[in-house]
Structure 1
């Protein structure tokens, strides 16, 4: 049985009409867009949706997030990244989360994502103190159950934590240095073996919706052999290799001190860049770094909400566009942005760069922002041929908005209103692989209310655990503050 949408306003995000709304009918068969045009065939037994007063768009792509942080939503404020990580990704007094907690956390995160129109997640699953096969399976299982599309990572750090930051050891007591330095870490071979097993167990599961991706945490947090090996394995498996690069000024200082170069130059010299590589953040790049990114076909996930909240800076939007670099949009985790809703990120991206450049010709255009939120994000995830636009042969991941709501009243330029006006009140249906997974705010694939009740019942115990871990790590707050202030004052030289 097929689904047919008749005479709707449609934003296809394809090469022909882009973000310009057009009137179209769409036929979906077997989870695929079978026809799209002025009219399409309607057959007996088809489910027909009247497109009158409806806007149909591609599903949104969250090109960088961390589902771990679902448990930390709304917990911290006014902390730069290096101090914020002490609490959201603590290094003292932390125990692994049980698989049942991971499953519940992932279900809640996926439900909020779907009900806001996000149909694809790039979930960089950074478990602390480290990821197990059971935890990874719990994430894949939850996403399969709820019906979302996702790239799910094996995130890895295999450099001693205190070696990833400048100056900090001079401020720490010796016993803390010994305790943190004694933590066990994976070798590159162990991580690559884990990833090969993950590919065998999880890649292309969920009817092809779910994929495994490599995720070396950052160039300062991984050994050279792991950075090279992860890049090579990603290329061999046509998978995404997702890596945090130059999110903060402190990281630019770290590159300068460790290598006398930028981290982009360092990765290039290691042969650890490819078209499968996505940089999360990519803020503190030099002009020559951006040339290297473009030359190697590297993509960038732009995370303005998180970057503003943590005071990290802003990615050079127009410079990336000028070099032809593919951009996606990411929420980052719910501890640093407090939301999985990509439309909030899209609005922020459309607005914040207008105050960084006095030339309005260089400000983000709505079509550019929507491209990053849809087909650009899909390309960063190695899914550009699969989703991100409404085209014949692509998977039927799409959204249906009610245009009679206050958010679209008066009805004007629908592409602009999608970015600037829509607040979630207008979203009627969400489809993934041609299957209706959200109906008027309710997830249809799982018992949403039962999951939320279970999650709420669990949270007092989780909050007690978080409070205890916060107290244990607070001993690091003053030394890390000193490190941060020293890094802020350090004069950058490499590539500048």
Structure 2
């Protein structure tokens, strides 16, 4: 099937125009076949013709960091520091084990929201409660297959006990709770690698390459060195992105002093020889100059999640210091429970604004073009698909978003780049195409029944409410000790401050 876009403007990130004069784009199969005056002549007689006059055709948006398993929990929690937030978000309780249908539906909820707003690809760093199983992995991947979106999915699973992941708890906890949190995880390294074998052998490259695997250590302090190396070996052998949360919070900076001989998590990973161009370093807020130099030398990508960072009070990432080193930046929503939406336009706007309060040097504040670069090219680079996505050109994959410029967001049209970042919220998206297939058109998803999806989600997860309340009650036992741990870390001197205002609570 071929599609001909007639008279569209193309987004231009380089140069001063912002967009091209009206032109034609031909899509044949999964790829862009021609751009320019020859496109119409090359179109077959049965090609679908889309009138693009007054519209902008741009590469599809890429959500470069996401966790699908809590997509049904948006709005459930107050803003809390990450380490306390996780007590309520992801306790490894049997009562929270999903059915395959629940996993399928919660994943499709996110797909619907993303496709309707022009997101064509997502990196899902999926954690599984209480552990990954083949049937739940299959349900999640089948949801992505049926939705039509492009995905790279990893299994975000630690293999160390809770007590080893966090500072100060050994001295703060009473003996009974300390023993409970010191228990080894029943689902160990070999079991996790078995689940990766299933993911890669069953799903990597499925749907003609639209579905792909990635690997994740969750965070370096949450896994053993042997498992970390085994994941890196999988990443290297199969050419997979490697996801790792690093220095998201001040507490994680403090942990380096207690557990890693004063080294930051970045330096620890670097010393292990595991920083690489395949690695997506997620958040990178509490980084110092040495950390950034190491990231730059390794060629790693940083995944910036500004709304989640604010929701969890994690701090403000040093955007300009990262850009100055040429480190690629991609953008993500993080999980729906820490963003409360899966809308990349909101992420782009926040990324364009939050760094303006980092300091008074306004010439160092982000420019709209830099934000769009992260949203498109940065995301493609993070996925390892920089030669396939992020640009409209012959031979590239046809992951495309059509934006109506005759909307309030662009009326009047003063500067396209700025209005895409600061004015658009997704409502101007009129068509989304993934691998040459139209998945959203004229206000309707073509791959799923959205009203039926919403209705089933309401029914399924209303029945889950008692289990979620039970999980919240279980967290209350640990809350006083986690609060004390957080306060102690917040009061520590780590030689930097990434919070706006003072350095946080004191004893």
TM-score relative to the length of structure 1: 0.96
Match of 1:179 in 2: 180
Q: 1:349 aligns with which of 351, 361, 368?
A: 351
1:252-310 deviations in whole A, cap 9, x for unaligned? Answer: 00112101211111101111111111111111111011000010111110001000111
In the alignment, the residues of structure 1 paired with residue 37 and residue 19 of structure 2 have an alpha-carbon distance, to the nearest angstrom, of: 13
Aligned Cα RMSD in Å?
A: 1.7
Give secondary structure in 2 for the equivalent of 1:285. coil
Question: Are the equivalent residues in 1 in contact too, given 2:69–2:127 (CA < 8 A)?
Answer: yes
How far apart in 1 are the matches of 2:44 and 2:71?
44
Match of 2:327 among 325, 328, 340: 325
Alignment of 1:4-403 (within 5 A): 4-13=4-13, 20-23=18-21, 24-40=23-39, 41=41, 42-91=43-92, 94-182=95-183, 184-259=185-260, 260-403=262-405
Aligned length: 492
* C-alpha distance in 1 between matches for 2:273 and 2:188: 19
Q: Where do 5+ consecutive residues of structure 1 fail to align?
A: none
Runs of 4+ in structure 1 displaced over 4 angstroms? Answer: 16-19, 91-94
| Higher deviation after alignment, 191-200 or 233-242 | 191-200
- Deviation string for 1:187-224 (max 9, x for gaps)? 44443343233211110112211111111010110111
Q: How many Å separate the matches in 1 of 2:487 and 2:356? A: 29
Equivalent pair of 2:92/2:131 in contact (CA under 8 Å): no
Shift of 1:185: 4.1
State how far apart, in whole Å, the 2-side matches of 1:233 and 1:292 are. 22
The partner residue of 1:414 within 416, 420, 423 is: 416
Once the 2 structures are TM-superposed, how far is the Cα of residue 148 of structure 1 from its aligned partner? 0.4
Task: Tell me the equivalent position of 1:460.
Answer: 462
Which is further off, 172-181 or 288-297?
A: 172-181
Q: Measure the CA separation in 1 of the matches of 2:74 and 2:280.
A: 25
Q: Which residue of 1 aligns with 2:448?
A: 446
Structure 1 Cα separation of the partners of residues 17 and 367 of structure 2? 11
- State whether residues 7 and 25 of structure 1, in contact with CA within 8 Å, keep that contact through their aligned partners in structure 2: yes
Matches of 2:445 and 2:257, distance apart in 1: 48
Q: Name structure 2 gaps, 5 residues minimum.
A: 497-507
In the alignment, is the contact (CA less than 8 A) between 1:12 and 1:390 conserved in 2?
no
Note if contact 1:398-1:430 (Cα within 8 Å) is conserved in structure 2.
Answer: yes
Q: Distance in 1 between matches of 2:3 and 2:15?
A: 23
Aligned counterparts of 2:73 and 2:487: Cα–Cα separation in 1: 25
Do the aligned partners of 2:117 and 2:427 also contact (CA within 8 Å) in 1?
no
Which residue number in structure 1 is paired with residue 3 of structure 2? 3
Secondary structure of 2:163's aligned partner: helix
